Structure 1
Amino acid sequence: MSLPNTPALVANPDLLTLALETPHALDDVREGSPVAAYSELYADDVVELGVWSVTPGEFAGDKLGASEVMYVLAGDATITSDDGTTLELRPGVSFVTPDGWKGRWRVRESVRKLYVIWKHAS
């Protein structure tokens, strides 16, 4: 069943060159002056899909009340969870940050990712 005014198909042919228009503030920057931006491709009351990028630096991240799956399109970074788990991000890497995740991003080369966020019921 389709929702009123919801497109039947959402597509973008080149996520690497898609213009990112919405600046995004970063929490707890500890190194550098990272700048983030994104372009939302689809959103409803539960799900958001888009492309996000960030320039080099180190900053905190968290996922509270939502989970996120990400696919790295470009860049070089390390994510370290508060429990010490690390993941090296390179093009082609996919990963999930579940509801409640907290950690740090250390970006060496600007990262661009495709993301899907889904909200959890409060």
Structure 2
Amino acid sequence: MSALDAGSGLDAGAGSGVDAGSGIDAGSGLDARAVDLPHEALPAATVVSGAPTAALLPLATVGDTEIGIWEMTPGTASDTEADEVFVVLSGHAVIEFVSPPLPPLEVGPGSLVRLAEGMQTVWTVTETLRKVYVA
């Protein structure tokens, strides 16, 4: 992985996130890799194969920007992206870019990726994927 841009990734270290707006005391910290997340089934119209579930934990909003943790269990699902930068904390997936057409991107712990609003993607998660996002 070599570029930080739509459809590309840049390896980066994974860590924890804390924010004053999250209700989490900045002095206590948060292990974003270990926090329990409540999962829900993905909308049937987005599921391509398997029975993936997803979970979301918003941590903060700064202006129009949200920071949070997102997780998806194994399976394949389609998505239309928002402007987002994320770091993968755990798990593995391949992101296929339907529109615009770009080469598939394999992501795993430490991957840093930027997605552009409106991109149409298909995520194939082979090991539960957890990321911290800024969108």
Q: Tell me which interval the TM-score lies in, with the shorter structure as reference length.
A: 0.7 to 0.9
The residue that corresponds to 2:107 in the other structure is: 89
Unpaired segments of 5 or more residues in structure 1? 1-6, 118-122
Residues 39-78 of structure 1, C-alpha deviation per residue, up to 9 Å, x if partnerless? Answer: 1100245011000111000000112xx4010100000110
Give 1 or 2: higher strand fraction. Answer: 1
Q: Decide whether aligned partners of structure 1 residues 97 and 8 sit closer, same or farther in structure 2, where only a CA change above 3 A counts.
A: closer
Residues 73-121 of structure 1, C-alpha deviation per residue, up to 9 Å, x if partnerless? Answer: 000110010114211011000101111211100000000000010xxxx
Unpaired segments of 5 or more residues in structure 2? 1-19
Matched length: 110
Distance 2:120 2:37 in 1: 25
The residue that corresponds to 1:16 in the other structure is: 33
* Amino acid aligned to 1:29: V
Give 1 or 2: higher helix fraction. Answer: 2
CA-based RMSD of the aligned residues comes to: 2.3
Q: CA deviation at 1:8?
A: 7.5
The residue that corresponds to 2:76 in the other structure is: 58
Q: Percent identity?
A: 32
The residue that corresponds to 1:120 in the other structure is: none
TM value normalised by structure 1 = 0.79
